[in-house]
Chain A
Amino acid sequence: MVFKRAMVSCCTAATLVLTVSCGSQSSDAGTEISGRVVVFAAASLTDVFDAMATAFEAEFPGADVQLNLAGSSTLREQILGGAPGDVFASADERNMGIVNSAGELESAPMIFARNSLQIAVPVSNPGEVTSLADLADDDLLIGICAEGVPCGDFARLVLDAAGVEASIDTNEGDVRALLTKIEANELDAGIVYTTDIESSSGVTGVNIPDEVNVEVEYPMAALAAAPNPVVAGAFVDFVLSPMGQDIVVAEGFDPR
């Protein structure tokens, strides 16, 4: 009888201790940051979000970041089609806008990074490309991203602004494929993001003058139907925080 009463009070005490100690590990909001968070991110954000996921998981050990990387319009279609996701980071504002109009965002999108475009050429630069004007050369093999792909739309804006009628030989479905072909020296030049030049060792960049270049703004937002809204919000906050912005800059983007 005595033993049993001692056991009960022991267990109760232990439970209290555990609850208190667990509670002290929670975030400022007072709730747990744990569980899976699915981030839909544009393919061009692969490197930065890889690093972001690692850092986030280090900061919040209970969290598990899953990245769904694809072209922004593909991600848009998936979200509109009801695919389960927590956060959407797009490579352009058009796709984010469509998702917003459909009421799929939890709150207004925030710009978390900026980028610009550059001409990518193989390291040996066989086509001797030194400016946008060179892209009008018929003899060169030039590639840009397809219309509707953010990188492609921006490239067309840049070419229009510079008044260059480029002799395009292929419209690639995503910027990674374009980079691969330039790296392999199968294309003489292409227009990609500045961040792509820096992350790839097989290509060198040729500058595009600021007056014709575009400033790409990357928006991000938590999704209204997020399965894990708490961690979704925490992730967005993290990316916008100084720690997150350090990573953004480290990967070659301009901060927000």
Chain B
Amino acid sequence: MTSAPTARRSIRRRPPIVFVALGVLGTLIFVVPLLGLLQKTPWSDLPELLTSDIVIDALRLSLISSVAATLIALVLGVPLAWLLARVDFPGRRLVRAVVTLPMVLPPVVGGAALLFALGRRGFVGGPIYDATGFVLPFSIWGVIVANTFVAMPFLVVTVEAAFVNLDQRFEGAAATLGASRLTVFRRVTLPMIAPSLAGGLVLTWARALGEFGATATFAGNLQGRTQTLPLAVFVSLESDRGAAIAISLVLVAISLVVLIGLRDRWWLRR
């Protein structure tokens, strides 16, 4: 009589060596610059640098504007994505191309375009200024607009793909059970695309947080009002390299905390 095996035999083949080699190289592209940053960090000055006005102001502005941009992208982007995915309207391909344009344009060009349209002399901003005296650039609203402009395409693209890949028969089943179209969207469609939506929101937020060119060109650069973390880094590079590195570390730290905190869930829909 054979006895039961005492330990589970595991037959696991090693991954192909070529993949491992290329994968390691790929990872190094991201790790090496990070190590460079850490190596040049003035660790002893760090506490003082991190609590300085310039960092606190930039951190506050960055968090407010990136979250605001993400929320705007959510409210406007999801319906837009739905329309692009489900309604075959004339000019749909054109709209889709225009919406993804900010992903392709250099951010500075985007900022310049925003300035030409929404600045004091812009064809939209001009009349508003003449009527109310409200100026969008050089204010936190300008930062939020710039961030939304570059980051929203990520949300639209991700969510549109999710809608397209969704098995619409479930929505049909919900309709036959008496659910109105909005109820179907709220109780069936949204929950079913929730993982993709979450991933899209994280991507959008991350892009907004890291935005530099469009913000600098459209909203300008003023500590406490428009100087976000990326702008603060750039400005500090001119005068105080230690401060620049400290602020960069703050950006890296925030991103790592959020991404690790979400624990792969948004990355691969696990």
Contacts and interface: CB of A to CB of B under 8 A. Distances in A.
B121 A184 contact: yes
A168 B227 CA distance: 13
Contact of B221 (A71, A73, A173, A184): A173
Nearest to B227: A171
A44 interface: no
B88 interface: no
Contacts of A148: 235-240
A146 B221 contact: yes
B115 interface: yes
Interface residues of B, number: 24
B235 A171 contact: yes
B238 A184 contact: no
Contacts of A177: 216-217
A147 B239 contact: yes
A170 B235 contact: no
Interface in A54-84: 71, 73-74, 77
Interface in A163-190: 168-173, 177, 181, 184-186
Given A71-B238, A147-B235, A147-B239, A184 B119 contact: yes
A143 B234 contact: no
B182 to A, nearest CB: 42
B205 interface: no
A169 B120 contact: no
Contact of A170 (B220, B237, B238, B240): B220
Interface string B216-228: 1100111101110
B115 A184 contact: yes
A169 B235 contact: no
A149 interface: yes
A1 B149 CA distance: 82
Interface in B207-251: 216-217, 220-223, 225-227, 234-240
Interface residues of A, number: 21
Contact of B137 (A71, A168, A186): A186
A5 to B, nearest CB: 62
Contacts of A171: 220-223, 227, 235
A157 B23 CA distance: 53
A169 B138 contact: yes
B267 interface: no
A108 B239 CA distance: 24
B193 interface: no
B116 interface: yes
B128 interface: no
Nearest to A72: B238
A169 B135 CA distance: 12
Nearest to B234: A173
Contacts of A169: 138, 220, 222, 225
A223 to B, nearest CB: 21
Given A184-B116, A186-B119, A143 B220 contact: yes
B235, B237, B238, B240 pick with most chain A CB within 10 angstroms: B238
A120 B234 CA distance: 24
A146 B223 CA distance: 11
A249 interface: no
Given A77-B237, A184-B115, A186-B121, A173 B137 contact: no
B61 to A, nearest CB: 14
Given A141-B138, A184-B116, A184-B121, A172 B220 contact: yes
Q: Which 6 A-B pairs have the closest CB atoms?
A: A148-B238, A170-B220, A148-B239, A186-B119, A169-B138, A73-B238
18 contacts: A141-B120, A141-B138, A146-B235, A146-B238, A148-B235, A148-B238, A148-B239, A169-B138, A169-B220, A170-B220, A172-B216, A172-B220, A177-B216, A184-B115, A184-B119, A184-B121, A186-B119, A186-B137
Given A148-B239, A181-B220, 9 more contacts: A73-B238, A73-B239, A141-B120, A170-B221, A170-B226, A172-B221, A173-B234, A181-B115, A186-B137
Interface of B: 115-116, 119-121, 135, 137-138, 216-217, 220-223, 225-227, 234-240
